[in-house]
């Protein structure tokens, strides 16, 4: 045997190149190939099995009986060859018969051979066949021999595909069968679609190099570019927590600069492979090792290396586009490790049905944007990119945080039934669109929506909403690589107001910082142990007055003789509101002096999210035109429970008597001051919780567009006076479970909660 895998493989590849260039049938070529491999490896047996009609057929052999060719067949998983194809693993056995999967095939005459080594022939990430060698001597094969076999198998896959010897439509995948997975619910909703990878894998079409030095230069150039990208990620990337951020980037940097990895790729090029094939060849070795690893931490590291290999492969092949660039041609479930909000917005919203992430969190920017888009998202699904295949059918249940990959008929029918029920319910909600949200006893309510994209304003009529109660101006900042200027903000705000027409739009000034940190505004002194309570929202805006002045001028000019409604987030004391309002009023005077457009009037509002503000409402209410209660942050602050932590889900209950009593006190004070109150947040978008809020005296909601129908149906089935009386009783003597007590009451009253 030659001294290195590269020289062994190169000797075989040189012969393969000649065989592939000759005239003749595919069968004749494969017969010549097994002879060539056996001679180069001094092997007594070399055989090629190909996957046809879901079984492995002995297609060519040197050393076994020729009459067994096209006669001997093995099912996937049957025998050593079937195991290799089914599991995508390498077998290297000193005594083949000792392996539990060994199957004796008398027609082949293999009983005199003891040692066995086999590698999968992989095409488009699926097993297309198996390349195997055997010796009479009982011995394990050297690593260099196994690596040479893997290299030859890669080139064989190109020959087999070119000759169309494998029927791709009948091939079973390495990753097959129905798989149920659980993750973290990020955005509610149900969806069916085919798996699409955000960063599609590059399919290596040409394996044999014509100019080795040229291929080496291409790889060196790709390594330089990849390392530049990793360094850029180190400076610019945004992750959920500092610990995860550091761990991920340090792992990436470690592999990106790993000399052993680059050396193995170089050795593969030395054997005669193209740059792409060399990277894929080393990647196959990584996948084979992953199958043998039980340690979850080490397996995760191997996945990191595979991710990096995919990145290097895309760079060297020049195929840097994401699936968004190539376009979605059917209903899709997008699969990614993680996504940025700008990347998500590049996708066709008509075709994008759901997103599945290996990472992701409730407060991630992509989650916020996906919720606004109405796209279900399930996060924290380990290994999804290694379990699903491109084109697999995937069922996503965002409500339960679960998904099914490659569903069987029963699972698919059950899911379709539940989706049909949802669609029926949506049709019922759609029928309510022309009717106002008025309770049975004649109390009018207002249902507005939360938005963050210009397109959302265009959908108000279709949704049946009364306006936008919360326009998140920070979305423009989250999806931009640089700080948006006044002109770009002006264009957005003007477009939103024009699309909304006569319906009101309430703009929340930019709420960034904390868990919505922006790389281009990053400042180490802004970092905090608890970002939700850190230097964010109005605190940050007031400290960066130029940022807030630019936004104020854009909003003022965009309103242009309309009513401008603006509210300030994260106010903890009235002086913060006064300072923000004064800044806006100064910008109105600035615009007037320069003959620029100004609003007909400005309505100023405050967001009550910080509990301390409730103690100073007597000071605040005389100065505001409306009050918005941000129930998401308010609840987590009252309970000292991080809403992004699933372990605290039971502690984070909007129907806790503590929350309801707190809200009732705010509503009563605001009513006495004749200041309208609106609830902005998920609490108002849930029928049972919204019913309780109406019982407290709240009749104005700003919720996710997807919840409008359900809330309107609940309101029109509800007696407001009756629920008000029941809430007084329950809050006077709270039951052990307020949720159960309210649910039971609603059922008796015939309130539509579903």
Over residues 328-343, the pLDDT tens digits come to 889 999 998 877 776 7
The yes-or-no verdict on residue 201 having pLDDT over 60 is yes
Q: Is the pTM of this model over 0.85?
A: no
The yes-or-no verdict on residue 99 having pLDDT over 70 is yes
Q: List where CATH 1.10.274.10 sits in the chain.
A: 212-317
Mean pLDDT for 86-101 is: 90
Segment 631-686, tens digit of pLDDT? 888 888 888 766 556 565 556 688 999 999 999 999 999 999 999 999 998 899 99
Mean pLDDT for 283-297 is: 63
Identify the residue with better confidence: 195 or 208.
195
Mean pLDDT for 525-546 is: 59
pLDDT at 151: 82
pLDDT at 127: 79
Q: Which of 246, 247, 254, 206 is nearest to 227 (CA)?
A: 254
Q: For the ranges 37-41, 279-283, 405-409, which has the lowest average pLDDT?
A: 279-283
- Report domain 5-170's class: alpha beta
Identify the residue with better confidence: 82 or 15.
82
Whether residue 554 contacts residue 489, with contact meaning beta carbons closer than 8 Å, is answered with yes
Longest dimension (CA), the chain: 100
Rounded CA-CA distance 356/360 in Å is 9
Rounded CA-CA distance 636/640 in Å is 5
User: Residue 624's Cα: distance from chain center in Å?
Assistant: 40
Q: List where CATH 3.20.20.60 sits in the chain.
A: 438-749
**Does domain 438-749 sit in CATH 3.40.80.10?**
no
Whether residue 319 contacts residue 182, with contact meaning beta carbons closer than 8 Å, is answered with no
Identify the residue with better confidence: 542 or 507.
507
Strands 505-508 and 563-568: parallel
Residue 340: phi and psi, rounded to 5, are -95, 160
pLDDT at 340: 72
**Does domain 212-317 sit in CATH 1.10.274.10?**
yes
184: left (phi over 0), alpha (psi -120 to 50) or beta: beta
Element (H, E) at 279: helix 275-291
Q: List where CATH 3.30.450.40 sits in the chain.
A: 5-170
485-493 LR contacts (CB < 8 Å, sep 24+): 485/550, 486/550, 486/551, 486/553, 486/554, 487/554, 489/550, 489/551, 489/554, 489/555, 490/553, 490/554, 490/557, 490/558, 492/454, 493/554, 493/555, 493/558, 493/559
pLDDT at 300: 55
The yes-or-no verdict on residue 536 having pLDDT over 60 is no
Percent over 90 (pLDDT), the chain: 42
pLDDT at 252: 60
Q: Which of 196, 206, 76 is nearest to 154 (CA)?
A: 206
The yes-or-no verdict on residue 547 having pLDDT over 50 is yes
pLDDT at 19: 76
Identify the residue with better confidence: 692 or 240.
692
Identify the band that residue 102 occupies on the pLDDT scale cut at 50, 70 and 90: very high
CATH number, span 179-197+330-421: 3.50.30.10
Contacts of 75 (CB under 8 A, 6+ apart): 54, 55, 56, 82
Look-up: residue for tokens 């992953």?
Answer: 290
């Amino acid at each position: 045997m030659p001294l290195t895998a590269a020289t062994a493989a190169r000797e075989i590849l040189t012969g393969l190149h000649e065989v592939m260039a000759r005239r003749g049938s595919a069968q004749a070529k494969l017969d010549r190939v097994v002879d060539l491999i056996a001679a180069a490896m001094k092997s007594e047996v070399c055989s090629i099995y190909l996957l046809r009609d879901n079984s492995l057929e002995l297609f060519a052999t040197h050393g076994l009986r020729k009459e067994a060719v096209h006669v001997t067949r093995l099912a996937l998983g049957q025998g050593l060859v079937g195991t290799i194809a089914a599991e995508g693993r390498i077998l290297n056995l000193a005594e083949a018969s000792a392996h539990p999967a060994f199957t004796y095939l008398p027609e082949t005459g293999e009983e005199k051979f003891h040692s066995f080594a086999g590698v999968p022939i992989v095409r488009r990430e699926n097993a297309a066949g198996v390349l195997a060698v055997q010796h009479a001597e009982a011995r394990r094969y050297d690593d260099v021999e196994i690596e040479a076999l893997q290299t030859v198998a890669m080139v064989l896959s190109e020959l087999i595909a070119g000759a169309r010897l494998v029927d791709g439509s009948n091939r079973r995948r390495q990753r097959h069968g129905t798989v149920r997975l659980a993750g973290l619910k990020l955005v509610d909703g149900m969806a069916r679609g085919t798996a699409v990878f955000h960063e599609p894998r590059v399919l290596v079409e040409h394996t044999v190099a014509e100019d080795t030095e040229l291929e080496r230069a291409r790889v060196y150039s790709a390594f330089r570019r990849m390392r530049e990208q990793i360094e850029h990620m180190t400076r610019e990337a945004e992750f959920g927590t500092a610990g995860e951020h550091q761990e991920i980037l340090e792992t990436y940097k470690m592999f990106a600069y790993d000399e052993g990895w680059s050396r193995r790729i170089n050795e593969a090029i030395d054997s005669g492979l193209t740059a792409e094939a060399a990277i894929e060849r080393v990647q196959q070795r990584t996948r084979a090792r992953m199958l043998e690893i039980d340690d979850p931490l080490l397996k995760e590291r191997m996945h990191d290396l595979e991710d990096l290999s995919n990145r290097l492969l895309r760079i060297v092949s020049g195929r840097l586009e994401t699936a968004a660039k190539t376009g979605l041609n059917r209903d899709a479930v997008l699969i990614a490790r993680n996504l940025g909000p700008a990347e998500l917005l590049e996708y066709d919203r008509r075709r994008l049905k759901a997103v599945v992430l290996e990472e992701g969190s409730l407060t991630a920017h992509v989650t916020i944007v996906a919720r606004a888009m109405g796209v279900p998202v399930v996060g924290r699904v380990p290994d999804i990119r290694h379990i699903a295949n491109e084109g697999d059918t995937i069922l996503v249940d965002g409500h339960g945080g679960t998904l099914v990959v490659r569903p069987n008929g029963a699972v698919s029918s059950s899911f379709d039934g539940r989706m049909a029920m949802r669609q029926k319910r949506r049709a019922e909600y759609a029928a309510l669109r022309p009717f106002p949200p008025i309770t049975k006893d004649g109390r009018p309510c207002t249902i507005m929506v939360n938005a963050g994209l210009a397109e959302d304003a265009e959908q108000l009529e279709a949704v049946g909403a009364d306006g936008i109660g919360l326009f998140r101006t920070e979305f423009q900042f989250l999806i931009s690589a640089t700080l948006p200027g006044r002109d770009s903000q002006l264009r957005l705000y003007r477009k939103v107001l024009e699309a909304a027409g006569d319906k009101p739009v309430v703009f929340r000034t930019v709420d960034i910082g904390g868990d919505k940190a922006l790389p281009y505004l990053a400042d180490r002194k802004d970092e905090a142990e608890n970002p939700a309570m850190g230097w964010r929202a109005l605190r940050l805006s007031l400290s960066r007055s130029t940022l807030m002045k630019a936004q104020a001028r854009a909003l003022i000019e965009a309103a242009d003789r309309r009513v401008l409604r603006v509210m300030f987030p994260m106010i903890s004391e009235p002086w913060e509101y006064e300072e923000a309002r004064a800044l806006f009023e100064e910008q109105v005077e600035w615009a007037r002096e320069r003959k620029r457009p100004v609003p007909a009037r400005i309505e100023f509002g405050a967001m009550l999210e910080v509990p301390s503000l409730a103690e100073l409402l007597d000071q605040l209410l005389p100065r505001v035109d409306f009050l918005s209660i941000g129930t998401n942050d308010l609840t987590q602050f009252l309970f000292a429970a991080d809403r992004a932590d699933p372990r605290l889900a039971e502690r984070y209950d909007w129907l806790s008597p503590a929350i309801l009593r707190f809200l009732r006190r705010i509503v009563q004070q605001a009513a006495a001051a004749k200041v309208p109150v609106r609830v902005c947040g998920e609490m108002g978008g849930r029928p049972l919780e919204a019913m309780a809020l109406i019982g407290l005296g709240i009749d104005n909601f700003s919720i996710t567009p997807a919840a409008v129908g359900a809330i309107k149906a609940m309101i029109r089935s509800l007696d407001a006076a009756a629920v008000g009386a029941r809430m007084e009783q329950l809050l006077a003597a709270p039951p052990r479970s307020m949720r159960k007590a309210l649910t039971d009451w609603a059922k008796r009253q015939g309130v539509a909660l579903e």
